Amino acid sequence: MSYSDFGKKFTQSSGIVELMNDLGEALSINPNMLFLGGGNPAQIPAAQALFKAHLQSIVGQQSQIDRLLGNYQSPQGDPSVCDALASYLKRNLGWDVTRKNIAIANGSQSAFFIIANLLAGQRGDQETSIHLPVSPEYVGYADSGLSDNFFSASKPTIELLPNRMFKYHVDFDHLDIPMTAAALCISRPTNPTGNMLSDTEVEHLNALAEARGIPLIIDGAYGLPFPDIRFVPATAIWNNNIIMMLSLSKLGLPGVRGGIVIGNEEFISDFNAANTVISLASGTLGPMLLESMINNNDLDQLSNSVIQPYYQSSSEFIVAEIQREMSDLPVRIHKAEGAIFVWIWLQDLPITSHALYQRCKQRELLVVPGEHFFIGLSDQWSHKYECLRLSHAQPRSAISAGIKILAEEARAAYRDR
């Protein structure tokens, strides 16, 4: 069977396909895998109990069952959900939003596909792009563009910190935004590194975007206002030039595929039109659970008292395990400021991160090779091949066993060079 250019592009091997295949194998096929790869959130008992209670409340009412199962939603999503979320954002964050600023999508991954291709790509005879002010960035962006050269990116500065830590910063002195850039895009906190761009960095990026007449996309899948997996102070920033993406997955609901887009009214209207063509309508389960949690004042408690402390503790645990098991290796750990990952840098690693990933996989340990995340950087920067992303959303026994195997395989790679 022969395919179109679209078919060839979206059936080829890619980092996100490899990552999700590994995730499926670890969670569904081979339970012996030590799963320090993928972005599957932890199944936190207190969160699971809360979801169960809200789901039972919904299915306990016939009118709610009819709404859940029997009706298509409007292109924007259920109006009552959008109203509840708008009220929450206005009340808690002071954002000047109504339901017209909000759209519901079947996950933030599909939402980003629509957002990115609405803004960038081929415009007549001009090729436009999404610019990433800091690369590495989320691997799921990499293959989402319908045209070539869809992403450009800038290298970060690297600040070396005590205790073999480091941190990326936006390099504003060398931030080269192409004239063909149609938007800037960041994740906050950053997937894969756990980096939390400061309020000052975000405001500076937004000012640069506004000056160029382009939007700033903020992917808040792990961040503010929910699930708020951050370990440093930060402010939820939004205005009419910002397109904010939120997700229900990292609350602990990856199976419901719930994504949220917040933007100016004109953009949301256009997004809804495109989303209708692609998805017809969004699912109802995730949005109805969100509405129930908002209306019962459970959402902030879930984020701040259950999810955030859980991941802060697991982050501290995996960092301590790496520092203990890999103390004899030239490893640096990115300062863990949020999300459910740690990002490690094996300086002067004699093999690529992908080769190290393959060696670990042979021992039933899944990690994620860092080279897939350096989207938009075309040069052969050696740092790109020396990093790994590790999830700390698994039980501590799995984390400890996984770090021990990783240390052994990294040690062998340095020894064999």
Q: Are 103 and 268 in contact (CB under 8 A)?
A: yes
Six token digits for residue 204? 């500076």
End-to-end CA distance of the chain: 44
Does one domain contain both 309 and 329? yes
In Å, how far are 163, 213, 219, 236, 283 from 126, measured between CA atoms? 48, 17, 26, 34, 36
How crowded is the C-beta side of 146, counted as CA atoms within 13 Å? 14
pLDDT at 320 over 80: yes
Q: What are the backbone angles phi and psi of residue 68, rounded to the nearest 5°?
A: -70, -40
- Residue bearing the bigger pLDDT, 15 or 91: 91
Residue 397 lies in a domain: yes
Residue 397 host element (H or E): helix 396-415
> What's the burial of 25, exposed, middle or buried (CB within 10 Å: 0-12/13-18/19+)?
middle
Residue in 126, 30, 5, 11 with CA at minimum distance from that of residue 361: 30
- Residue 364 pLDDT: 93
Say if residue 82 is in the same domain as residue 230.
yes
* 193 falls within a domain: yes
Residue 213 inside a domain? The answer is yes
Question: What distance in Å separates the CA atoms of residue 402 and residue 125, rounded to the nearest whole number?
Answer: 50
Supply the pLDDT for residue 29.
60
pLDDT attached to residue 392:
97
**Domain ends where: 297, 313, 338?**
297
Same domain flag for 293 and 369: no
The pLDDT, as a whole number, for residue 20 is 60
Are 34 and 141 found together in one domain? no
One domain, residues 277 and 322: no
Within 10 angstroms of residue 183's Cβ, the number of other Cβ atoms is: 20
Average pLDDT estimate for 30-35: 80
Tell me, yes or no, whether 84 and 153 share the same domain: yes
Across 370-390, average pLDDT: 93
Task: Check the CA dihedral 264-269-270-274 and report its sign.
Answer: positive
Instruction: Look at residue 409 and tell me whether its pLDDT is greater than 90.
Output: yes
* CA 291 – CA 294 distance, rounded (Å): 5
CA distance 359 to 386: 15
Q: How far apart are CA 244 and CA 139, in angstroms?
A: 18
The model's confidence at residue 380, banded by pLDDT at 50, 70 and 90, is confident
| pLDDT (average), residues 140-162 | 93
Domain assignment present for 55: no
397 lies in the same domain as 334: yes
Same-domain check for residues 334 and 216: no
Residue 40 forms part of a structural domain? yes
- What's the pLDDT at 4? 74
Q: Is residue 178 part of a domain?
A: yes
Whether residue 32 has pLDDT greater than 90: no
Across-strand partners of 157?
Answer: 169
Q: How does the average pLDDT of the chain come out, rounded?
A: 93
> Mind listing the pLDDT tens digit for each residue in 195-224?
999 999 999 999 999 999 999 999 999 999
Return the CATH number at 182: 3.40.640.10
Q: How many domains does the chain have?
A: 2
Mean pLDDT, range 122-138, rounded to an integer = 94
Contact 137, 373 (CB under 8 A): yes
pTM, entire model? 0.93
Residue 61 lies in a domain: no
Do 215 and 281 sit in the same domain of this protein? yes
| CATH number of the domain that residue 392 is part of | 3.90.1150.10
Residue 307 shares a structural domain with residue 293: no
Where does a domain end: 282, 297, 312?
A: 297
Query: Is residue 8 predicted with pLDDT exceeding 60?
Result: yes
What is the extent of the structural domain holding 202? 72-297
pLDDT over 90 at 403, yes or no? yes
Nearest by Cα to 36 from 360, 255, 337, 372: 360
282 and 180 belong to one structural domain: yes
Contact 144, 150 (CB under 8 A): yes
287 lies in the same domain as 391: no
Helix (H, G, I), strand (E, B) or coil at 245: strand
**Is 13 part of a structural domain of the chain?**
yes
How far apart are alpha carbons 335 and 190 in whole angstroms?
12
Domain termination site, one of 297, 323, 342: 297
pLDDT grade for 25, boundaries at 50, 70 and 90: low
Query: Could you tell me which residues are beta bridge partners of residue 391?
Result: 341
